[in-house]
Structure 1
């Protein structure tokens, strides 16, 4: 071994990483929901949001609290950091110190969410999860949504049952705040005068027309829609080599 080889001078640069996939753009978009959140409990639901929360904790949101879903606080690798008894969990949730990213079977322009049933409540065509904790979540702390397949079946003019509470029904609840909706096509937010959904960014390869066609109501679209932020080289290596080395993210966003 020469001195040059020993000290790494002149060593070949690492091979360039393949371009980010759509799933990896979605991971970044989910992670960004917790940017600047401070010391709040992140509760991601789904593979992509979970990777996003752990990525945020490892990079730009080190104060973020993560849980194992039972009774422990954990770090981005799952190592136990502390105890989170149910009473304390409820105190965080009721006092605005939790940010959940839930799913949605239906979502309307004001962020009303349905995960309970499709069709009339008295005799539904499809029975889903049930209301669960959606009302408490949406009225008491910040909430975002993850929709792995953007379609008119999800984004509807009117939800069949209100589970998560939207801006038109919140009635000024102190901690009610809908942050963003991340889908396999784009990022949506509520930065409009009437707090209805707006197209905030497009994932690479997606057009405004495609999003409009997949949305069952008129969506607010700015004159210029930016591209969703892509992962840095560091973030991409963390996603692929540390946080999700088996590529489970592709189960939710295969293309």
Structure 2
């Protein structure tokens, strides 16, 4: 007799989903606002596994359960109340991000005459000053991880401290296709917290446009459990959208 067929090993995209999910661990009953497929899959994985109290939104005006069924009403004014009250943990994208977590989604180049116009500042300043904000970057490169952002949309640690508005400012983590990053350093600059399996420290350094804090023994991003892999592959993302966002 033969045993069950072993599962294929986790892909880079699946490590990214898992790393995004971990951003909401021990966060309590807060609204998970994710802005991209992989980060959204991470929020759903967190709720299905270790954060059942997490609230999910349809992105418009409703709170939804794991099957997408409406659980409650969340009009825009109530959403803003949650933002200003710190009851939301958003995972935004970043066209640029620097060593202190300043984020840019507004423009590339001089803001008075940019070479490229992006989304605009949107709600990034309020997000970063009132509730936890993490970031998901699907393609780690020196064009994204820069020495200095061209315009500050989301507020980083250095600017929050200089302005005296750091009381509720928190950037739990940055997740990219290469690894996980935090700001657990004396000057609150970005640190390599874990590498996704198959990635090297030198690879991360070459893809980063500033001197990144790196410890002597950087761990790998934890392995997903068999149940977490099943949820990702069969329930949360059966059509494999994660592999279109994370291309290795």
- Match for residue 192 of structure 2? 199
Task: Indicate the SS of the match to 2:222.
Answer: coil
Determine the C-alpha separation between the residues in 1 that align with 2:14 and 2:28.
Answer: 24
Residue 87 of structure 1: CA displacement? 2.1
Asked if 1:136 is matched to 2:123, the reply is no
Asked if 1:216 is matched to 2:209, the reply is yes
Match of 1:61 among 51, 57, 64: 51
Determine the C-alpha separation between the residues in 1 that align with 2:165 and 2:191.
Answer: 21
Preserved CA contact (<8 Å) 2:142 2:208: yes
Determine the C-alpha separation between the residues in 2 that align with 1:132 and 1:13.
Answer: 53
- Match for residue 246 of structure 1? 239
Asked if 1:39 is matched to 2:29, the reply is yes
Using structure 1 for the length normalisation, give the TM-score. Answer: 0.94
Q: Return 5+ residue gaps in structure 1 as ranges.
A: 1-9
Match of 2:167 among 163, 169, 174: 174
Instruction: Show CA shifts across 1:155-200 (max 9, x none).
Output: 1110000000000111233321001000000100000011100000
Instruction: Show CA shifts across 1:88-138 (max 9, x none).
Output: 211111011100000000000000000000000111011111111110110
Q: How many residues align?
A: 245
What is the Cα-based RMSD across aligned positions, in Å? Answer: 1.0
Q: Return 5+ residue gaps in structure 2 as ranges.
A: none
What does 1:62-211 correspond to in 2, within 5 Å?
62-170=52-160, 171-211=164-204
Using structure 2 for the length normalisation, give the TM-score. Answer: 0.97
Preserved CA contact (<8 Å) 1:33 1:180: yes
Structure with max Cα Rg: 1
Preserved CA contact (<8 Å) 1:150 1:215: yes
Moved segments of 4+, more than 6 Å = none
Preserved CA contact (<8 Å) 1:95 1:175: no
Task: Indicate the SS of the match to 1:178.
Answer: coil
Preserved CA contact (<8 Å) 2:129 2:165: no
Residue 77 of structure 1: CA displacement? 2.1
